Amino acid sequence: MSENMIEIKEDVQAAMQRQAEKSAKFLRQDKIFAAITLSFATLVLLVLFGILVSLVVQAWPAFEEFGLSFFYSTTWSPTDGQFGAGIAVWGTLVTSLIALAVGVPISFGIAMFLTESCPVWLRRPLGTAIELLAGVPSIIYGFWGLFIFAPIIQEYVQPWMIRWLGEPFFAGPPLGLGIFTAGLVLALMIIPFIASVMRDVFETVPGVLKESAYGIGCTRWEVVKNIVLPYTRVGVIGGVMLGLGRALGETMAVTFVIGNANRFSLNLFAPGNSIASTLANEFAEADPMLHIPALFGLGLILFIITFVVLAVSEWLIKQGAKKAGGH
Amino acid sequence: MDTRYQKRKLINGISTVLSGLAVCIGLLGLIWILATLFIKGVPAMNWAFFTESTPAPGSEGGGMANAIVGSLLIVGLTTIVSTPIGILAGIYLAEFGDRSKVAGITRFVTDIMLSAPSIVIGLFVYALFVATTKHFSGWSGSVALALIAVPVVVRTTDNMLKLVPGSLREAAFALGMPRWRVSLDVCLRAVKGGVITGVLLAIARITGETAPLLFTALNNQFFTWNMNEPMANLPVTIFNFAMSPYENWQDLAWGASALIAILVLMLNIFARIAFREKTQS
């Protein structure tokens, strides 16, 4: 009897021992696993940091040579070794603003249609179609823009605008390619991004709010204007900023249609250059002495601008989501 | 009173028509681009398109075989490398870091990297690899694409794992499973469909990426399996050929564009189906 007890006791002790060893082993494994996953997560942070450092280091010779004037000078002449970012920055900002001016109202219309007017059975296929537009690679937008879209703009739109709007922004001759067309192609590209953010935030509006407005006799437009928009304002602005961030850094679609000229002009029909298109066109054949550092300088400017825009957008969208979660 | 009501109705009508018109513009854009690719691209996709290498300037015929193989190699390698990295980083965010500061910052940075200009990523990889090894290579192209693909996988993994109910984890812990096996065998398995969606979307995203390859993989007129050399790939070849004055080059570029568009759209649709099946079951 007592022998049995001792045996059982020993068994239990051995089992506990094994269990303790196993727990310790699991704990070690867990620590290793957590460390591995953490290291991959911090890799993302390191890359961001690495991008900034490498751009600054590579661009340094250009900053040293031209000083502050690099950021605003509108001379960009590889043959004379004179480099200023003015033209490219101007082209980047103006094409993006045109894209926003055209794209935001259309995106708003799409989001409004999808959340308010559209029959339920049509919502999913329409939404998917708009999202597929976001999946089309940018080089295809560019290619299509150059061969199909630009000639149509040149033939039908530009002569009309030159006649009725004219100087200083819409002056002839109608070339088809240029800052204006690049802005339009960009608009088409960013519509799906802005529209899907807007649709998502519109859907966070509580049904009760809208129903009360409909109940006191508001029309659909009045509901959108007075209930949906004020409620989702922060998220909508975030979506617009996201579109802006996309437009600023877009390379291929712009490179095809912007005309690639390093001349400064207020005329939107004139060919120009954006930061991304300058990089795409000139980098492979650039001279390493000053031209490459200057191109890295452009890249740094682009990265900082888009980083700020995207960070603000991220923050706003999160604020919008938080508000929706609070109700 | 009556006119005021009519005015309100009129404004409402106009806004409805305009919003419908906006949808039409979006759809028109999609259909127009797809139709162009179909009309110009599909006829260019013949036998030679898939079997011959890119033609020399001015010469007739030729195909895209070297660019297709190059793209497959570069994108394939990128997928193999970035899928585990992205999934593990996503697991950290959802399972280990969760509300910690590191996780918060990483999420924020990942979201920004999702939309960061891809050409700047090309510049970074150029500075990191091409400038130090002194030559363009398929490897560096893969690295550049991986930097774009990883954030996509991280974010979807993170978002999907958040959907796993806590009770599932607790049940697994109660059985005495170590945490890493709970993460991999229980949580990750539960959201497999969603994670696969993320990977498919990442592949779709990098298949058409051109800008980061311009200064990394560059291009190559000849067929090669060697990833240590400059490597032909579909997007950069499209860029070079589309801008060229040769008509047969442009035709090849249309064919390649159609090929990429078909691949990317199919990946997008597959991703949606995989995700929908998962969320419905």
| Chain B interface mutation, best of A136, A190, A274, A292, highest count of B Cβ atoms under 10 Å | A136
The shortest C-alpha distance from A183 to chain B (Å) reads: 15
Test A43 with B89 for CB contact under 8 angstroms. yes
Strand partners, A259: A272
Counting every residue written for chain A, the total comes to: 327
ipTM of the complex in this document: 0.89
Test A114 with B23 for CB contact under 8 angstroms. yes
Mean pLDDT of the region B86-90: 93
Q: Greater confidence, A173 or B43? A: B43
Mean pLDDT of the region B229-252: 89
Q: What is the pLDDT of residue B278?
A: 55
Q: What is the pLDDT of residue B281?
A: 42
Q: What is the pLDDT of residue B277?
A: 64
Assign B274 a pLDDT band (cuts: 50, 70, 90): confident
The shortest C-alpha distance from B241 to chain A (Å) reads: 10
From A283, A310, A311, residue closest to B214, measured CB to CB: A283
The shortest C-alpha distance from A227 to chain B (Å) reads: 15
Test B214 with A108 for CB contact under 8 angstroms. no
pLDDT at residue B66 above 80? yes
Assign B137 a pLDDT band (cuts: 50, 70, 90): confident
Mean pLDDT of the region B108-135: 89
Q: What is the pLDDT of residue B60?
A: 77
Mean pLDDT of the region B65-76: 92
- Helices (H) and strands (E) counted in chain B, each on its own, are 14, 0
Assign B131 a pLDDT band (cuts: 50, 70, 90): confident
Q: In the numeric block, which tokens belong to residue A231?
A: 């409620």
Assign B202 a pLDDT band (cuts: 50, 70, 90): very high
- In terms of Cα–Cα distance, which of A270, A283, A101 is closest to B210? A283
Test B120 with A140 for CB contact under 8 angstroms. no
Which are the contacts of A199, defined by CB distance < 8 A and separation ≥ 6? A110, A111, A114, A115, A127
- B192 membership: H or E segment, kind and range: helix B192-207
Place of tokens 């691949």: B263
Which are the contacts of A197, defined by CB distance < 8 A and separation ≥ 6? A235, A236, A238, A239, A242, A317
Test B111 with A140 for CB contact under 8 angstroms. no
* Start-end of H helices in A150-290: 150-152, 158-164, 179-202, 207-215, 220-223, 229-249, 252-257, 275-282
pLDDT at residue B171 above 60? yes
| Chain A interface mutation, best of B23, B95, B161, highest count of A Cβ atoms under 10 Å | B23
The shortest C-alpha distance from A2 to chain B (Å) reads: 33
Q: What is the pLDDT of residue B238?
A: 92
Q: In the numeric block, which tokens belong to residue A185?
A: 């192609």
The shortest C-alpha distance from A25 to chain B (Å) reads: 9
Tell me what the pLDDT averaged over chain B comes to. 88
- CB contacts of A108 in chain B (<8 Å) are 19, 22
Burial class (CB in 10 A: 0-12, 13-18, 19+), B84: exposed
Q: What is the pLDDT of residue A105?
A: 95
Residues of chain A with pLDDT under 50: 326-327
Instruction: Give CA–CA dist B71/B64, Å, rounded.
Output: 10
Test B29 with A133 for CB contact under 8 angstroms. yes
Write out pLDDT tens, residues A218-264. 999 999 999 999 999 888 998 999 999 999 999 999 999 998 888 88
Q: What is the pLDDT of residue A327?
A: 43
pLDDT at residue B194 above 80? yes
* Start-end of H helices in chain A: 2-66, 69-72, 86-112, 120-135, 138-144, 150-152, 158-164, 179-202, 207-215, 220-223, 229-249, 252-257, 275-282, 291-326
Instruction: Give CA–CA dist A40/B152, Å, rounded.
Output: 14
CA B241 centroid distance within chain: 22
